[in-house]
Homo-oligomer: A and B are copies of this chain.
C-alpha cells in the first residue's frame, strides 16, 4: 500500500518520502490481510449465531461488565473506541432487537444510559462459548504464548499512539 513505488516520480522539491523497506512492506500487507480476514470471519460467525456484527456484540459484552450493566453513552463509545454517532445508531438497532434499553441519566439530563436487558444477557450467555472458540481457533490457538505477549505489547503501542487526545501530532498532518 505504502511502498516504494514505480509512481511517486520524485521530480518535485518535496522531501523524499521515506518509503517502506521490504520487510515493513511485507509486514504491512500481512497486517492488512490478517485484520481483514479476521474481522470478516468473526462478523460472519456472530451474524449467524447472534444476528449482529461483532462490534455490536462487543458493545453488549462491555455493558455486561459494567456496574448494574449500564453505562453512559459517551463512556461506552470511548471504551469501544468508536464515535458517539456510530454508538447512537448501534444502540438504536440493539434496542429494536431488545438486547439494550435506554434510560435517562439521573445526574445529567442530557445524558443517556445504555442498559443491557435480561434478554441481552441471556443471549450473551448462549453465544459466548461459541465466540470464545472462534477467537481461540483463529488467534490464540495458533500463536505461541510469547507471540500473544508480543501481540499485546504491539497493539497497546499502536492504540496508545492513536488515542483521540493525541490528535495534533505532526504526522497527523
Q: Is the CB of B142 within 8 A of A157?
A: yes
Decide: A34 and B139 in contact? CB cutoff 8 A: no
A27 to B148, CA, bound (A): 7
Query: Which of A4-12, A87-95, A98-106, A107-115 contacts the other chain?
Result: A4-12
Q: Which parts of A1-32 form the interface with B (CB within 8 Å)?
A: 1-3, 5-9, 14, 17-20, 23-24, 26-28, 30-32
Oligomeric state, in copies: 2
A38 to B9, CA, bound (A): 28
Interface SS, A side: helix
A35/B37 in contact, CB under 8 A: no
Given contacts A5-B125, A8-B129, 16 further A-B contacts (CB under 8 A): A1-B131, A2-B131, A2-B132, A3-B61, A7-B125, A18-B132, A19-B132, A28-B135, A34-B162, A36-B82, A37-B158, A41-B162, A45-B172, A136-B171, A141-B171, A142-B157
